[in-house]
């Protein structure tokens, strides 16, 4: 946990942005897997962590904007619980570690909130994404659970998004701790990418590194020889010579800051010529995009530049034809690059996706496009110093998508479908780094993980 003053300052900064009322942050509780007592690994809510720092279940934080007070609600363990869980530090002592002086048992929260409602005071809360918290808000505030998301406070969402998007020095250090572990995961995976190895063996080794460091993965690992499936969580294939492995994975630091890295490597250490050609196109698109990043530029324009670079490269291979500007405008490149260039990252791997893409990724200067490909862009607005975003272009050959576009005669003036057929079984390539926007431009976070062709081949060939 950070020092207490960091949490106090964060709450103070938030309080100044909210006109009046009470701000309620519900922490997460344990969530059952297959029977009540058998729970998933506990993961605290990220906004609760950001403002109240305590990483345990069953807590709620309340900021009284008008009275300038912060309060934590939660229950200390009783003797029966001590038998099973051991003694736990008292809430009042833990609260002090995050700069909170007032604590109460959880059952007092409902009374305080009901009193505030009777006085006509506004209760601000964020949209809950867990059913348990939706039901809790129903009980606490008397709002039908189906309507709870509609009553979330837009004023609070906007304030939290603005605050959490800008990462402080301490947060960057945490993200880079996650990168140290993620470096180990990826280099280990590359060394294991040999014919005859199961995907799941590599996943097991990588996740073992994370768990033995006392951390969690930031999201379910994507490791596959079928990289054309963007979020493939099946790990049962055997690696074969001639295929590539897409590894999109990352650890969280012990304070839950994420890393999210993708590398693509050839099985047994040697790209084929077509693989190398496409790999270089993706790498060029990624580097070009990172080069462009600086405060003020819209991330949508960075995405479009990456799309243009991919389309130009594919034109050289004969897969795209005609004028590249027109092809990108028509969205023809999205047959091969159907997703967005990246997303913000921090305490969540898709930072604050629970608060709504229209608040996190878009603003009055840039509206969401409905065009296939661009519609999947999670973040489009102008960059600011302190933002952390992933930059993850890719090129994929998705047989069903190719067939559909061909059948619909989509973008026939820009796509040579006959040539595309030759790549039908190619798979996919994605390369991803996490990038901090600085005053001057941008910096790739973490110790560099091999991504040049020669570096990737060398480490993949290592025994």
- Summarize as ranges the residues that interact with ligand GLY (CB under 6 A): 219, 248, 260
Closest CB to ligand GLY among residues 52, 362: 362
Residue with Cβ nearer ligand GLY (137 or 223): 223
Considering the complex, state which of residue 233 and residue 241 has its C-beta at the smaller distance from ligand GLY. Answer: 233
Q: What angle do CA 113, 119, 120 make, to 5 degrees?
A: 90
* Cβ-contact 264, 200 below 8 angstroms: no
Shortest Å, Cβ 433 to ligand GLY? 12
Query: How many Å apart are CA 344 and CA 414, to the nearest integer?
Result: 32
Measured from the CB of residue 9, what is the shortest distance to ligand GLY in angstroms? Answer: 30
In angstroms, the Cα distances linking 3 to 53, 139, 253 are 10, 34, 16
Taking the complex as a whole, the smallest distance from the CB of residue 248 to ligand GLY amounts, in Å, to: 5
Three-state DSSP class for residue 259? coil
Pick 64 or 260: Cβ nearer ligand GLY: 260
Measured CA to CA, the distance from residue 360 to residue 378 in angstroms comes to 8
3-state secondary structure of 250: coil
- Residue 462's closest CA among 181, 279, 302, 270? 270
CA distance 224 to 221: 10
Q: Which is nearer to ligand GLY, 179 or 315 (CB)?
A: 179
Residue 228 DSSP label: T
- Angle between the N-to-C axes of helices 299-316 and 273-292, in degrees from 0 to 180, rounded to the nearest 10: 150
Residue number, 10 or 343, with CB nearest to ligand GLY = 343
- Looking at beta carbons only, is 64 or 348 nearer to ligand GLY? 348
- Closer residue to ligand GLY in complex, CB, 289/320: 289
Min. distance of Cβ 219 from ligand GLY in angstroms?
A: 5
In the beta sheet, which residues pair with residue 395? Answer: 429
Q: Around Cβ 42, how many Cβ atoms within 10 Å? A: 13
- Residue number, 23 or 244, with CB nearest to ligand GLY: 244
State the DSSP string of 176-197: HHHHHHHHHHHHHHHHH--TT-
- Other beta carbons less than 10 A from residue 39's beta carbon: 14
Q: Considering the complex, what minimum distance in angstroms separates the CB of residue 260 from ligand GLY?
A: 5
Distance CA 420, CA 409 (A): 14
Residue by residue, what is the 3-state secondary structure of 24-67?
Answer: EEECCCCCEEEECCEECCCCCCHHHHHHHCCCCCCCEEEEECCC
The answer to whether 320 and 416 have CB atoms below 8 angstroms apart is yes
Kindly state the smallest distance separating residue 221's Cβ from ligand GLY, in Å.
Answer: 9
Give least dist CB 205 to ligand GLY, A: 19
Name the minimum Å distance from CB 389 to ligand GLY.
11
For residue 372, CA distances in Å to 323, 328, 329, 331 come to 19, 11, 11, 7
Q: Which is nearer to ligand GLY, 171 or 248 (CB)?
A: 248
């Amino acid at each position: 946990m950070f020092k207490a003053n960091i949490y106090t300052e964060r709450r103070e900064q938030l309080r100044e942005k909210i006109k009046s009322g009470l701000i309620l942050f519900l922490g997460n509780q344990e969530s059952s897997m297959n029977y009540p007592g058998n729970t998933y690994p506990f993961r605290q809510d990220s906004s609760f962590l950001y403002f109240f720092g305590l990483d345990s279940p069953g807590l709620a934080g309340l900021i009284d904007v008008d009275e300038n007070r912060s309060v934590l609600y939660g229950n200390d363990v009783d003797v029966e619980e001590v038998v099973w869980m051991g003694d736990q530090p008292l809430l009042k002592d833990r609260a002090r570690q995050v700069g909170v002086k007032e604590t109460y048992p959880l059952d007092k929260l409902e009374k305080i909130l009901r009193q505030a409602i009777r006085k006509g005071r506004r209760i601000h809360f964020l949209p809950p994404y867990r059913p348990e918290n939706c039901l809790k808000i129903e009980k606490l505030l008397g709002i039908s659970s189906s309507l709870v998301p509609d009553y979330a406070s837009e004023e609070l969402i906007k304030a939290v998004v603005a605050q959490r998007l800008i990462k402080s020095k301490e947060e960057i250090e945490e993200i880079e701790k996650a990168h140290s572990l993620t470096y180990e995961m990826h280099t280990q995976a590359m060394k294991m990418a040999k014919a005859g190895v199961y995907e799941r063996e590599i996943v097991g080794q990588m996740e073992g590194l994370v768990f033995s460091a006392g951390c969690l993965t930031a999201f379910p690992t994507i490791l596959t020889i079928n990289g054309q499936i963007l979020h493939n969580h099946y790990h049962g294939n055997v690696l074969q010579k001639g295929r590539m492995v897409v590894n999109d994975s990352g650890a969280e630091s012990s304070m839950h800051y994420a890393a999210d890295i993708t590398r693509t490597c050839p099985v047994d250490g040697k790209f084929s010529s077509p693989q190398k050609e496409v790999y270089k196109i993706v790498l060029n698109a990624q580097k070009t995009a990172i080069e462009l990043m600086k405060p003020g530029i819209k991330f949508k324009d960075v995405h479009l530049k990456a799309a243009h670079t991919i389309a130009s490269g594919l034109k050289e291979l004969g897969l795209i034809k005609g004028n590249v500007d027109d092809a990108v405008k028509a969205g023809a490149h999205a047959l091969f690059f159907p997703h967005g260039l990246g997303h913000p990252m921090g305490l969540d791997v898709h930072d604050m996706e629970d608060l709504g893409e229209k608040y996190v990724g878009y603003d009055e200067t840039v509206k969401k496009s409905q065009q296939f490909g661009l519609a999947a862009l999670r973040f489009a607005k102008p960059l600011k110093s302190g933002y952390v975003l992933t930059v993850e272009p890719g090129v994929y050959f998705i047989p069903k998508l190719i067939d559909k576009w061909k059948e619909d005669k989509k973008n026939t003036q820009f796509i040579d479908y006959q040539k595309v057929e030759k790549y039908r079984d190619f798979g996919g390539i994605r390369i991803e780094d996490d990038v901090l926007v600085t005053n001057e431009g941008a910096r790739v976070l973490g110790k560099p993980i091999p991504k040049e062709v020669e570096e990737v081949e060398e480490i993949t060939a290592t025994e």
